[in-house]
Structures are given as C-alpha cells and as structure tokens.
Amino acid sequence: MLWAAGAVVARKNDRTRLRRLRDARPHYVLAADLAEDAGQLLARASTAASAVLRSAVHKEDLVDRQRNEASLPVQEWEIAAGLREYSRLVQAEPKEAEGEKVVALLDSRRRALALSLAGIERRVIALETYAAQIKEADRQYAELRQIQQLADGSNDVLELLARTARDDLAVAEIEGMTGEAAAVSASFTAALESAKEAAVIALPARKTA
C-alpha cells in the first residue's frame, strides 16, 4: 500500500518518470517503509479517515464536508510521514549493543522514540474518536429518516385500519351467508331423505323368480 502527498506514475525503462519518482520519494510512504507498530497505527488512521469520507452525513454535507476533504488527507499524510521517520530511526539501530555505553544510549534513544510514537498514536486516537462521532451521527441520521418515512406513511396506515374495519364487517356478512348456505344444504338433505323414503313406500317391491 502507498500513502502519498501527490500522485506520481512510473513506467519501466522510462527514465524521466523514474527520476520524477525518485525526486518525489519524500512525498510518499510505502508499507515496506514502516515498522510493524507504525504500520498498524497508519492502518488505523486510514480506516478512520476513510470511514468519515464514506459516511452519509459527510456525503450529504450535514457535517463540514469541505473541511473534511481538505483536512483528513493532510492529517493522514502527516501521520504517515511521522511514522516513516520513526520507523527509519528504529530500523537504524544496531541489532546487538556492544558495551554498556551503547546500551545506555539505546535505552535513551528508545524512550525518546516511544514518546514520539505515543504522540502520533494520540493523533490517531483523536482521528478514530472523530470517526466514531461521525458513525453515531450516521446512525442517528438513519433513525431520523426512518421516523420521517413512518410519519409520512401514517395516512396509509390509517386507511389500512379503515379497510380492516370493513374487512371485519365483510367477515361477519360472509359468515352469515355461510350459515344460510349450511341451513339450505341441511334442508336439501332432509328433503332428499324424505323423497327416498316416499319412493320406497310408493314403488312395489320387485318379484324374484
């Protein structure tokens, strides 16, 4: 991954572009430039900045969109540049200390580097806090839009309730019709049974040979 203060493109065997890339080296940071702890901090800063710029309240200019778009890339770049310098100094340390004086110097140097890293981390935390506030604003904005949508649809809900009342009346009417149909069916059944009995009485029995 690359963090840049400006965009530079280089093609293979293009001396002019390669020279421009070398000249621009102070203006971009590669992931390979960073120590592990520095890389993790820069990833957190990038995540926070991206979250703000992707938010609905930013896109719809409900927060200061212009300031975000001007300030956040600068913040991210300054964090990246500071972490690159921190990493350069860390990586320049000897792997093994030769003598007590060197050990003492390394201890002092490492304390200074730790203080520097802690300062950058405070900046990253502030950026993450801002991103968290933007996320909460996004949540509240989404909730407000849903409330407005529900309020706008309240007339439709009332109309549906009125239709439900009509449905209840229709159900009672249909149930009454069903009862009437059942009574008619029962009377038909009784009449049919009476007709069968009358036929048995009226018709002579068949003689058997």
DSSP structure string for 150-203: HHHTHHHHHHHHHHHHHHHHHHHHHHHHHHHHHHHHHHHHHHHHHHHHHHHHHS
Angstrom distance (rounded) from CA 125 to CA 160: 51
| Cβ–Cβ under 8 Å, residues 41 and 86 | no
- List all residues 6 or more positions away from 142 whose beta carbon is below 8 Å from its beta carbon: 56
- At residue 191 the predicted structure's pLDDT band, cuts being 50, 70 and 90, is low
**Rounded mean pLDDT of the chain?**
77
* Residue 24: φ, ψ to 5°: -90, 0
Span 165-182, mean pLDDT?
63
48-73, pLDDT tens digit by residue? 999 999 999 999 998 889 999 999 99
Token pair of 118 as six digits: 């802690």
The angle at the Cα of 88, spanning 95 to 29, to the nearest 5 degrees, equals 140
* pLDDT: which is higher, 38 or 202: 38
What's the average model confidence in pLDDT over 128-137?
94
Q: Where are the domains of the chain?
A: 2-152, 155-203
CA 162 to chain centre: 38
Q: How confident is the model at residue 159 (pLDDT cuts 50, 70, 90)?
A: confident
Query: pTM for this structure?
Result: 0.63
Q: What percent of the chain has pLDDT over 70?
A: 61
Judged against a pLDDT cut of 80, whether residue 8 lies above it is answered with: no
pLDDT (mean) for 39-45: 95
Q: What is the pLDDT of residue 63?
A: 87
**The predicted structure's pLDDT at residue 174:** 60
Q: In angstroms, rounded to a whole number, what is the distance separating the alpha carbons of residues 108 and 106? A: 5
- pLDDT for 98: 73
- Residue 147 pLDDT: 80
